[in-house]
Amino acid sequence: MDENCLAYGIEISDSDWEKTPASVKQLVEKMEQYIKESDKRFADLEAKYQELLEKINRTSKNSSSAPSSDPLNTEKQKQKNKSDKKRGGQPGHKGHSRHLYEVSECESVLEHHPETCNCCGEKLVGVDSNPYRHQIVEIPPINPIIVEHRLHQLECRNCGTLTRAKLPQDVATRGYGVRVVALVAVLSGLYRHSTRMVQSAMQDIFGITMCLGTVNKLKKEASDAIESAVWEAKTYVQNSPVVGADETSFSQGNVDGFNQKNRKAWLWVAVTPLVTFFQITLSRCTVTAKNLLGEKFGGILNSDRYASYNWVSLEQRQLCWAHLKREFIKISERTGVSHDIGNALVQQQEKLFELWHRIRDGTLSRDEFRQLVTPIRDAIKSSLQEAADYKISSQEKTPLAKTVRTCRQLLKVEPALWLFVTVEGVEPTNNAAERAIRPAVIWRRTSFGSQTQGGSNFVARMLTVVTTLKSQRRNVLEFMTQAVSAKRQSQPTPSLLPHVPVAVVAVKNAA
């Protein structure tokens, strides 16, 4: 008797099966083949359904999608219960009064003295040592300072040659001063205005008329002026003890012929507490990552699990737990075994972050933290191993197969999940790099990228300058003015590196 008949609950004795006509046996075999194919199609459809369901339910909590792309029915966007509290600051809230400028900064100080008492009308005398201060801040009418140089041409009485006077060496051949160049760069690089918007702002606010081509030329001059400072910042980042790295897609055209294959560009960022470096390349490969961090990178890398960073040893890596959290939530939202494993991973991740928040608040010592993390690490590794032990085919696309592959990948890099537990100064997430790259994403959306390699260089360099100076609380316009002025006078470019007090330098030299 055929084994497939038994598998489908059909009981036929061997003698009856032998007596069955060949035509019937052939029909049964065709039916069995049809059933097998139907089962396979059903399994494929079920896997496709789960895949589509996962896409529909994709949010910023279970994927790398931006919060702005979340559907309107997510929990975060549901209307909260209306509070009984009044709007504004609550009792006990530390208020913030208006900033008052120093008296030395005031154009004038007007003293107002009361003459008579509000109650009895008696004449008042005396001095108030602490008067109430009220300041009016105004912007004067802005008129550009225009200096005209007239280069006269005279004819030689001897030979008739016409000779025109030359500009002094300290006068720029370009018709705009260093502050104009710096302001154009800041409007574009800090405030992310388009070329046409920069043109309009210069006309409407400052009364300076320029064409679109001039705006681009001034941006290029500003970009060239800060080139050496940006490379110095790159060297500083590559030699830092802890660096956060991330990358996002960018668009670069082929107007200048440097992107003839119309390849997608990528914007990379390397972050330290006080200096941040950006670069735009036409590649997202390991070579580019090595160029970003330096081939001899000896610090600790905080990043996601992107393969281009795999050349850095696991002992030097801290993988981002924000990405892991989203992976765990994604697994928990699947059906069957994946659901149970995902829930277990999410629970352990929540315990871990509760402890980490206590570390940040100063309510838990580092030694206690290390001890409490040990069982959490064991539980997470056990759940990952449980999923990894399931046998799946290489082509299987079921939810369980996706879970198994993810857990196997995590097990390979498991030592890189816990560096923040033992090394102080290392964060469990890569949020610093993601926050740094966010303005670049907004710039990309509003400008649709760049059209030339020079435009990409301007974007990367200005992002480096702006992000670095903001972290050091330094003025961007002042720095850009100094950089452009230094470039025109062939002087050293001002540095983006944090200023080290003289006393600190003396102590280091003594050591």
Q: Hey, what amino acid is at 139?
A: I
Structure tokens at 49: 């359904």
Q: 453-472 and 212-225 are packed helices; what angle lies between their axes, rounded to 10 degrees?
A: 60
Pairing of strands 317-319, 265-271: unpaired
Task: Measure the CA–CA gap between 203 and 146, rounded to whole angstroms.
Answer: 15
- 198 lies in the same domain as 248: yes
Tens-digit pLDDT profile for residues 301-342: 999 999 999 999 999 999 999 999 999 999 998 888 899 999
Residue 127 lies in a domain: no
Binning pLDDT at 50, 70 and 90, where does residue 173 land?
confident
Average pLDDT of 376-402? 89
Integer Cα distance of 351 and 367 in angstroms: 17
Q: How far apart are CA 279 and CA 228, in angstroms?
A: 14
pLDDT digits (tens, 9 = 90+) for 342-358: 999 999 999 999 999 99
Do 408 and 485 fall within a single domain? no
Least confident of 68-72, 97-101, 182-186, 414-418: 68-72
What's the pLDDT score for residue 503? 37
Determine the pLDDT at residue 70: 62
pLDDT at 145 exceeding the cut of 70: yes
**Binning pLDDT at 50, 70 and 90, where does residue 480 land?**
very high
Evaluate whether 223 touches 457 at the Cβ level (below 8 Å).
yes
Examine the domain organization and report whether 300 and 328 are in the same domain: no
185 class by beta-carbon count within 10 Å (0-12 exposed, 13-18 middle, 19+ buried): buried
pLDDT of residue 172: 81
Instruction: Return the DSSP state at 123.
Output: B
Half-sphere exposure (CA, 13 Å, Cβ side) for 220? Answer: 12
The per-residue pLDDT for 56 is 67
Residues 353 and 472 in one domain: no
- Adjacent-strand bridge partners of 265: 250
In the structure encoding, which two tokens stand for residue 28, read together?
A: 């049964």
Instruction: Determine the average pLDDT of the residues in 130-145.
Output: 90
Q: Are strands 153-155 and 265-271 parallel, antiparallel or unpaired?
A: unpaired
What is the rounded CA–CA span in Å between residue 259 and residue 456? 12
For residue 152, the tally of other CB atoms under 10 A from its CB is 7
Q: What is the pLDDT of residue 319?
A: 95
Band (pLDDT 50/70/90 cuts) for residue 374 is very high
Per-residue pLDDT, 81: 63
pLDDT in tens, 102-129: 989 898 999 999 999 999 889 999 999 9
301 and 349 in a single domain? The answer is no
What pLDDT, in 10s, does the model give residues 430-474?
Answer: 999 999 999 888 888 888 788 999 999 999 999 999 999 999 999
Same domain, 276 and 396: no
CA quadruple 415, 416, 420, 424: dihedral, nearest 10: 90
pLDDT band with cut points at 50, 70 and 90 for residue 65: low
Residue where a domain terminates, one of 394, 429, 464? 429
Cα–Cα distance, 287 to 266 (Å, whole number): 13
**Cα gap 280→456, rounded to integer Å:** 6
pLDDT(506) > 50: no
pLDDT of residue 298: 94
Rounded Cα gap, residues 163 and 171, in angstroms = 19
How many Å apart are CA 148 and CA 169, to the nearest integer? 15
Q: Could you tell me where the DSSP H helices lie in 121-194?
A: 178-189
Beta-carbon contacts of residue 276 (< 8 Å; ≥ 6 apart): 233, 237, 269, 270, 436, 463, 464, 467, 468, 471
- For 359, counting Cβ atoms within 10 Å of its Cβ (0-12 exposed, 13-18 middle, 19+ buried), the class is middle
Q: Which among 53, 68, 86 is the end of a domain?
A: 53
Residue 3 has pLDDT above 60, yes or no: no
The residues, ordered by sequence, that sit 6+ positions from 95 with a Cβ below 8 Å of its Cβ are 89
Say if 441 falls within a structural domain: no
- Characterize the bridge pairing of strands 317-319 and 300-303: parallel
174 pLDDT more than 90: no
Same domain, 409 and 511: no
Mean pLDDT estimate for the chain: 86
Q: Which domain holds residue 367?
A: 321-429
- Are 357 and 392 in a shared domain? yes
Kindly state whether residue 407 falls inside one of the protein's structural domains.
yes
Tens digits of residue pLDDT in 489-502: 999 999 999 974 43
Task: Identify the band that residue 37 occupies on the pLDDT scale cut at 50, 70 and 90.
Answer: confident
Do residue 292 and residue 339 come from a single domain?
no
SS3 string of 378-392? HHHHHHHHHHHCCCC
The band of 39, judged by pLDDT with boundaries at 50, 70 and 90, is confident
Question: Is residue 362 a part of any domain in this protein?
Answer: yes
Same domain membership, residue 289 and residue 199: yes
| Packed helices 453-472 and 178-189: angle between N→C axes, nearest 10 degrees | 90
- Domain-embedded: residue 240: yes
8 A C-beta contact, residue 116 and residue 125: no
Is 291 in the same domain as 329?
A: no
Choose the final residue of a domain: 386, 401, 429: 429
Q: 34 lies in a domain?
A: yes
* Same domain as 456, residue 403: no
Is residue 463 domain-resident?
Answer: yes
Mean pLDDT of 277-290: 95
Domain count of the chain? 3
In DSSP notation, 303-353 reads: E---GGGTTS-GGGEEE-HHHHHHHHHHHHTSSTHHHHHHHHHHHHHHHHH
Q: Which two tokens stand for residue 228?
A: 């050496």
Res 1: pLDDT: 47
pLDDT tens sequence across 78-103: 555 667 777 777 777 777 778 889 98
Rounded to whole angstroms, the Cα distance separating 94 from 92 reads: 6
What gap in Å lies between CA 161 and CA 175, rounded to an integer? 28
In this structure, is residue 284 part of a structural domain?
yes
Nearest to 466 by CA among 481, 455, 480, 487: 480
Strands 242-250 and 265-271 come out as: antiparallel
Phi, psi of 135 (to 5 degrees): -115, 140
* DSSP letter for each residue of 352-379: HHHHHHHHHHTSS-HHHHHHHHHHHHHH
Strands 242-250, 300-303: parallel, antiparallel or unpaired by DSSP? parallel
Please tell me the predicted confidence (pLDDT) of residue 505: 34
